[in-house]
């Protein structure tokens, strides 16, 4: 039995020994597998770090410079167009990005503050008195001196080799043409270290111009320090798109410069000018005065300057509305150009009396003469031939009292509420442009419809948008509605030519061309709405030409001119000056059958 037990113990010992070896081998194999997996993970991570995310960490290792370019997109540029001498269309830069510098001082390294201030003052356009307090601050490693320093100036500073004077490269938004077109463009400013568009195209198309910022997501330790070996996600930035405007730069430049000079010449409070292509609705020029320089927008004290007067400022247009009234009555076949009425110089509405602007009466007059002499009584006569709802519908259909559809934010709607009143006197005043409010853009677009065979187009400013990936979005002209018949539009065009040839619009004409146009001298309502200001007005001239094949429609508005009373002197001459330039620029030949005037 003892022998049996011994044998049994021997077998048990051998069994335990064999089992122990097997367990050891399995643990060893498991450790080998685990070690192999760890090495695979490490090598895989190293491969990701060195190959896949190489650019990320190179950027981090080089002071964030390359990473900054990848995370922050480049803002798109804004362009106008210009015809070259060969007839080709080329782009003109209106808003671009350029390299600039921030100049700062590390006062710990400044050796001779007086000499440094003297040399810097000449280059930066500053005084030594401004610079010395900055350069003598004790132990300051970063003291900004001047931002947005041009690349040329930056290079001059580098060449001076001044100890303690450093330059940090930045990207700035630059507007090469300064004030010209500022109301179209708007400007950009920094919000949370990101450029954000304000007003104009910069504001209305900020998302498209800005692009999409990239992202770098990575783990950080308890101290907030980035962990290189941790999981990370990198999404590169997408640059903004370039925006090409319908603006024809030579027209824009000359029109805006002429408007600014004209406003100053007449001591006016301001003005606006719009040129539109009648057949398409494309905006060829849009100017406002006073304007501003987008490069130095922060120097403007009144925010009102940033509002575009061509689209934002409503006003009672005055007699330029008489052509719309005539078009409605002719389109309804209620009157003809040679229809006559007896002008007594006034029309009574109960206790109220409306008179002609010159307080004169002219007896028997045709509808053509009503426009030539700008007779309020004649406009009332034409209005009275129409049913009130029909009269109002034509004003609606011409686009008054509603947004035009222009892509810029901040457009005013206007006010036609008086046309809903039952008292006839409200329609009477509206017939010659009082008691209602419109914008210059609405007004010129209505005349553009008359120039375009009665077809109202939606005005547009964006010609195309070009994305970094090669995609291109082009804007096609859009017809809003047929407001009046083509025949009516032709008849009104002829009547407006007569205004320029024989009426108050003579100074809006261009020798050798048939120009259609109408003056308007508008009173300015008091702020409380009860009556009008005395001794001030707004002068307007709106028209198109050449009448047989219109290349442009244009409105000129001059606010509160100090030295002239009527629009034939305040607005018409500027219209004629710009119209002449446009016709010459487009190389439209004069007609031989028109007598040339001196």
Integer Cα distance of 86 and 332 in angstroms: 47
What CA–CA distances, in Å, run from 513 to 152, 279, 578, 588, 590?
A: 49, 19, 14, 9, 6
Secondary structure of residue 544 in the 3-state scheme: strand
pLDDT above 70 (res 61): no
The pLDDT confidence band at residue 174, using thresholds 50, 70 and 90, is very high
pLDDT at 535: 84
As a whole number of angstroms, the distance between CA 406 and CA 535 comes to: 34
Cα 341 from Cα 331, distance rounded (Å): 19
Q: Is 40 a residue whose pLDDT tops 70?
A: no
pLDDT at position 375 is 97
pLDDT average, residue stretch 435-441: 96
**In this model, does residue 178 exceed pLDDT 70?**
yes
Q: Average pLDDT, stretch 524-544?
A: 88
Least confident of 45-59, 282-296, 425-439: 45-59
pLDDT for 341 equals 97
Return the closest-CA partner of residue 259 out of 247, 248, 275. Answer: 275
Residue 26 pLDDT greater than 70, yes or no: no
Residue 345 neighbours by CB distance under 10 Å: 16
**Predicted confidence (pLDDT) at residue 77 exceeds the cutoff of 90:** yes
CA distance 171 to 97: 6
Average pLDDT (325-348) is 97
Contact criterion met (CB below 8 Å) for 283 and 383: no
Query: How confident is the model over 432-448, as a mean pLDDT?
Result: 97
pLDDT digits (tens, 9 = 90+) for 107-130: 999 999 999 999 999 999 999 999
CA dist 178 and 568 (Å) reads 31
Tokens of 173: 């938004």
Average pLDDT, stretch 556-584? 93
* pLDDT tier for residue 7 given thresholds of 50, 70 and 90: very low
CB contact at 8 A, 550 and 444: no
Average pLDDT over residues 51-61: 44
Q: What is the pLDDT of residue 86?
A: 75
d(CA 17, CA 36): 28
| Kind plus residue range of the DSSP H or E element containing 257 | helix 249-265
Question: For 62-84, what is the mean pLDDT?
Answer: 74
Q: Say whether pLDDT at 14 is over 90.
A: no
**Tokens encoding 99:** 């390299």
Band (563; pLDDT cuts 50, 70, 90): confident
* Alpha carbon distance 596, 598 (integer Å): 7
pLDDT tier for residue 38 given thresholds of 50, 70 and 90: low
The fold of 259-291+309-585 is: Beta-lactamase (3.40.710)
> Which pLDDT belongs to residue 97?
94
Give the model confidence (pLDDT) of 179-233 as tens digits.
999 999 999 998 876 789 999 999 999 999 999 988 766 655 555 555 554 556 7
Where residue 304 falls among pLDDT bands split at 50, 70, 90? very high
Q: What is the mean pLDDT of residues 2-13?
A: 45
Which of the four pLDDT bands, split at 50, 70 and 90, describes residue 263?
very high
| pLDDT tens-place string over residues 135-150 | 999 888 899 999 889 8
Residue of higher predicted confidence among 109 and 530: 109
How many angstroms separate the CA atoms of 248 and 255, rounded?
11
- Which alpha helices (DSSP H) does 302-415 contain, by range? 309-312, 322-331, 367-373, 376-384, 388-397
Is residue 35 very low, low, confident or very high in pLDDT (cuts 50, 70, 90)?
low
End-to-end CA distance of the chain: 149
Tens of pLDDT, residues 351-383: 999 999 999 999 999 999 999 999 999 999 999
382 in Cβ contact with 326 (< 8 Å):
yes
Q: What proportion of the chain, given as a percentage, has pLDDT over 70?
A: 84
583 or 216, greater pLDDT = 583
| Cα–Cα dist 325/371, whole Å | 11
**In terms of pLDDT, which residue wins out, 432 or 526?**
432
| Domain definitions of the chain by residue range | 16-66, 74-210, 259-291+309-585
CATH-assigned architecture of domain 74-210: Alpha-Beta Complex (3.90)
Q: Is the pLDDT of residue 34 over 70?
A: no
Mean pLDDT of 548-556: 97
Q: Peptide bond preceding 593: is omega within 30 degrees of 0, i.e. cis?
A: no
Instruction: Report the mean per-residue pLDDT for the chain.
Output: 87
Q: Is the pLDDT of residue 63 over 50?
A: no
pLDDT at 464: 97
Does 293 have pLDDT greater than 90? yes
Residue 52 confidence (pLDDT): 42
pLDDT of residue 527: 79
């Amino acid at each position: 039995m003892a022998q049996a037990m011994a044998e049994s113990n021997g077998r048990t010992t051998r069994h335990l020994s064999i089992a122990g070896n097997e367990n050891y081998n399995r643990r060893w194999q498991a450790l080998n597998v685990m070690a192999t997996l760890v090495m695979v993970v490490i090598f895989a991570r190293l491969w990701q770090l060195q190959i896949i995310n190489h650019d990320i960490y190179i950027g981090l290792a080089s002071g964030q410079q390359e990473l900054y370019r990848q995370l922050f997109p480049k803002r798109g540029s804004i362009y106008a167009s210009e015809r070259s001498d060969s007839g080709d269309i080329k782009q003109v830069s209106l808003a671009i990005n350029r390299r600039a510098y921030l100049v700062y001082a590390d006062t710990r390294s400044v050796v001779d503050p007086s000499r440094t201030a003297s040399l810097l003052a000449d280059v930066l356009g500053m005084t030594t008195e401004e610079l010395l307090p900055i350069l003598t601050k004790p132990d300051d490693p970063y003291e900004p001196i001047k931002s947005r320093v041009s690349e040329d100036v930056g290079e001059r500073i580098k060449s001076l080799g001044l100890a303690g004077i450093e330059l940090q490269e930045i990207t700035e938004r630059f507007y090469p043409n300064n004030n010209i077109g500022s109301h179209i463009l708007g400007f950009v400013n920094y919000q949370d270290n990101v450029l954000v568009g304000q007003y104009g195209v910069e504001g209305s198309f900020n998302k498209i111009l800005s692009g999409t910022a990239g992202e770098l997501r990575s783990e950080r330790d308890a101290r907030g320090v980035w962990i290189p070996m941790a999981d990370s996600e990198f999404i590169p930035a997408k640059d903004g798109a370039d925006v090409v405007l319908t603006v024809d730069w030579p027209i824009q430049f000359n029109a805006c410069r002429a408007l600014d000079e004209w406003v100053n010449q007449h001591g006016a409070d301001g003005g606006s000018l719009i040129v539109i292509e009648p057949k398409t609705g494309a905006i060829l020029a849009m100017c406002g005065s006073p304007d501003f320089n987008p490069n130095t927008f922060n120097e403007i004290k009144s925010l009102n300057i940033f509002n575009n007067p061509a689209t934002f400022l409503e006003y009672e247009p005055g007699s330029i509305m008489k052509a719309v009234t005539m078009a409605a009555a002719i389109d309804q076949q209620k009157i003809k150009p040679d229809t006559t009425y007896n002008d007594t110089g006034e029309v009574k509405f109960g206790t109220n009396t409306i008179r002609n602007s010159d307080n004169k009466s002219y007896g028997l007059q045709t509808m053509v003469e009503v426009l030539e002499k700008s007779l309020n009584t004649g406009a009332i006569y034409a209005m009275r031939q129409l049913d009130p709802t029909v009269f109002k519908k034509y004003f609606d259909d011409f686009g008054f009292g509603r947004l035009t559809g222009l892509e810029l934010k901040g457009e005013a709607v206007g006010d036609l509420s008086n046309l809903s009143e039952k008292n006839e006197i409200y329609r009477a005043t509206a017939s010659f442009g009082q008691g209602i409010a419109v914008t210059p853009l609405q007004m010129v677009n209505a005349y553009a419809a008359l120039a375009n065979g009665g077809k109202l187009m939606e005005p547009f400013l964006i010609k195309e948008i070009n994305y970094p990936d090669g995609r291109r979005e082009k804007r096609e002209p859009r017809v809003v509605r047929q407001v009046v018949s083509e025949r009516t539009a032709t008849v009104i065009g002829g009547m407006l030519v007569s205004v320029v040839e024989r009426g108050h619009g003579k100074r809006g004409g261009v020798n050798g061309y048939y120009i259609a146009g109408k003056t308007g001298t508008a009173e300015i309502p008091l702020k409380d709405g009860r009556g009008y200001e005395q001794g001030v007005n707004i002068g307007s001239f709106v028209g198109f030409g050449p009448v047989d094949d219109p290349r442009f429609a244009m409105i000129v508005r001059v606010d509160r001119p100090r030295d002239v009373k009527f629009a034939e002197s305040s607005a018409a001459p500027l219209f004629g000056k710009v119209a002449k330039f446009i016709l010459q620029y487009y190389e439209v030949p004069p007609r031989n059958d028109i007598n040339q005037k001196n």
